[in-house]
Amino acid sequence: MSTTIEADIEASMIAWRRDLHAHPELAFQEHRTADLVAKELTGMGISVVRGLGRTGVVGTLTTGAGPSIGLRADMDALPVLELNEAPHRSTHAGVMHACGHDGHTAMLLGAARHLSSKRDFSGTVHFIFQPAEENEGGGRAMVEDGLFEKFPCDAVFGMHNWPGLPAGRFAVNYGPMMAALDTFEVTVQGKGSHAAMPERGIDPFTAVGQIILGLQTIPSRMLSAMDSAIVSITQIHGGDAWNVIPDSVVIRGTVRCFDPLVQDRVEHALRQMVATLAKAHGATAAVSYTRRYPPTVNSRPEVERAIAAAKSVVGDEAVTVGIPPSMASEDFAFMLQQRPGAYIWLGADGHKACAPLHNPHYDFNDETLATGASYWISLVQTVLSRAAKPG
C-alpha cells in the first residue's frame, strides 16, 4: 500500500482520535470537539468559520485557480455506554464514539495538515466538519444554514469506516450507497378497563399485535421483490399496572428504502393498514410519519474520481466497485441532494474483525487512519490537479 502521510501526521491523528474518543459529545453538543478542530485548522494556516449548523466547523484552503470541492467528516458520538477497557475509553458515562466519527475527524484533520503544508493542487478545498449525523440531521442543518452558498463546492465527498471490509480496502457504488430513513409513530386509542373485565373496554394491545404483524407484510406482499424496503418496529409503550388495560398504546419504528416511489408506497400502505386493523378491533389510530434522511446516492463522475483516488492509495485490486448498498442511513445525503458527489467506505477490519458499528465494544481501528487521510489527499490531487481546467 502506498501512502502520502508523514509519520508525524499519523502520530497526530492517533493522538487526536484517542482524545476525541475519550471525550465524546452528542449531536449539537460537539463544543469541545469543534474547539479542537478549529484550533488545529487555524494552526495550519487554514481559514476557519464556526457555528454553521450550530456546532459545525468549516476550514477553507485555496491554492491557485481551479474548482472547489468539499470534504466532509462527522463529529458526533452516540448515547451508548462503552464496554471497552482501552486507556482512551469514554470518560463520559453513557456516551461513546461507537460509529468512528472520532476517526473520521482525525483523518480529515490529518489530510488538512498535509495539504496545507504541501499545497500541491490548484483550487479550493473546504474541510467540512459536520455535527449531529446520528439521527438529528446535522447535514441538513448545515445545508439550511447556507453551507454551499457560503462555501461554494463543485462537488462534495464523504467517507465512512466499514466493519466487515478488510483494512486497506475501499468500496463504492455508482448510485445508492445508503438507504433513506423514515420514522413513524402510531398511537392506538382503545378504552381502558380492568384487566379482569376486558369486555368492558377496548383493548388497544390486540390491535397493536395485529398492526405489528401486518406491517411486516408490506415489504414482502405489497412491494415487488425488486423493490428493497425494510419496516422495523423498534418501540412499544403502553400500560403502567399489572391489572389495568390501558386506554392507548404507542408503537414506533423505521422504514428504509432507496427509491422515493417506494417510500410513497410504503407510507400509503402503512397508513391504510394501521387504520384498517385498528378499526377491526374497535379502536382508532393516529399515524405520525416523518421522512428524516433521503437515500445517499452517488453521482457517476464523482465516483470515477473517488475510484481513481482510492486506487492510487491501495491499488486497483483493493477497490471494490459495485457492492450491496447498506439499509442504514446517512445524512450526508442532504449534501448530495445539493451537489454532485461520492460517498465511499473505508475498510475497518485489521488483524481481527472490528466490532459492529453502534456496538458498545466498537473502537475505531487506528491502523486505517493513514489510509483514509491518504485517500483525501489523493482525491484533492485528482480533482484539483494543477493541469485541470478551472471550473
pTM: 0.93
Domain boundary among 293, 316, 344: 293
Q: Are residues 149 and 221 in the same domain?
A: no
Q: What is the pLDDT of residue 2?
A: 47
Q: Report whether 319 contacts 375 (CB < 8 A).
A: no
**pLDDT block averages, 10 residues each, the chain of length 391:** 77 98 98 98 98 98 96 98 97 98 98 96 98 96 98 98 97 97 97 97 98 97 93 97 98 96 97 98 98 96 98 97 96 98 97 93 97 98 73 43
**Domain assignment present for 134:** yes
Sheet harboring 284-293: ordered strands across?
Answer: 229-237, 248-257, 180-189, 284-293
The number of CA neighbours under 13 Å toward the Cβ of 16 is: 30
Q: Clarify whether residues 171 and 311 are in a common domain.
A: yes
Distance CA 356, CA 349 (A): 10
Based on the fold, state whether residues 111 and 154 are members of the same structural domain.
yes
**Joined grid coordinates for residue 144:** 439550511
Tally of CB atoms within 10 A around 134: 19
Do 62 and 190 belong to one domain? Answer: no
Domain count for the chain, please give it: 2
pLDDT score, position 107 = 98
Rounded to whole angstroms, the Cα distance separating 253 from 289 reads 10
What confidence score (pLDDT) does residue 178 get? 97
pLDDT per residue as tens digits for the range 183-206: 999 999 999 999 999 999 999 999
Q: How far is CA 227 from the centre of its chain?
A: 22
pLDDT at res. 135: 87
pLDDT, tens only, 319-355: 999 999 999 999 999 999 999 999 999 999 998 889 9
Cβ atoms < 10 Å from Cβ of 24? 27
**Residue 255's domain is classified under what CATH number?**
3.30.70.360
pLDDT value at residue 351:
84
Choose one of 293, 324, 339: the last residue of a domain: 293
CA atoms within 13 A on the CB side of 322: 0
Range of the domain at 30: 7-177+295-383
